[in-house]
Amino acid sequence: MSDGPSPREIALKHTPGFNSAPIWMSAGTPSLSAATSDPMGVAGASLLPRAGGSTFIIVTFPPDSVMMSPDFDPTKAGPEHLVATPGIADHFEMDNPGMHTTPTVDYAIVLDGEIWLELDDGETVHLRSRDTVVQQAARHGWRNKGNKPATLAFILLGAS
């Protein structure tokens, strides 16, 4: 159905090293018919799947030090995140940056680097390459406490 780079891949200017590459989406139970149109050409469409839908996305998180840099401007970075991850970024908490809850079952696979998953109760889980996580509408945030980017693959399943 698809081969090559995502037409919706975005590297953020105001959060250097953050990259969002939506690979594929389905609005509902997919049809196995080859006549399905490519859903990735719809710029700005929400990446948050409705119940029964799914999203496959690759995200690279820069080290947290990028956001701690004196040059980092959250007022410029925020709107970019809304464009890079529409629907998902809308769920980010303003009072607790990065924390969010989505109505999805999420499969996450660390492809490269290290990342820390912060959970609702304040617990953090340190994940390395090839580690996996399954979450169900969990309040969480991704923190890259390392010194190099971390790349993760996410499959989001819309739930009710």
**The predicted structure's pLDDT at residue 62:** 95
Angle at 50 between CA 49 and CA 54, to 5 degrees: 40
- Please compute Rg for the chain using Cα positions: 15
What's the average model confidence in pLDDT over 20-41? 73
Percent of the chain with pLDDT over 70: 90
pLDDT given at position 156: 95
CA distance 79 to 159: 27
Residue range 129-151: average pLDDT? 96
Give pTM, 2 decimals: 0.88
For residue 121, pLDDT beyond 70: yes
User: For residue 7, what pLDDT band results from cuts at 50, 70 and 90?
Assistant: confident
Average pLDDT over residues 127-153: 96
In this prediction, residue 29 has a pLDDT band, given cuts at 50, 70 and 90, of confident
pLDDT in tens, 66-109: 988 888 888 888 888 888 888 888 888 888 878 899 999 999 99
Average pLDDT, integer, range 117-133 = 95
DSSP string, 93-158: -SSSTT-B--SEEEEEEEEESEEEEEETTS-EEEEETT-EEEEES--EEEE--SSS-EEEEEEEEE
* pLDDT the model gives residue 126: 98
If you average pLDDT over every residue of the chain, what do you get? 87
Q: How far apart are CA 86 and CA 84, in angstroms?
A: 6
| Residue 92 per-residue DSSP state | B
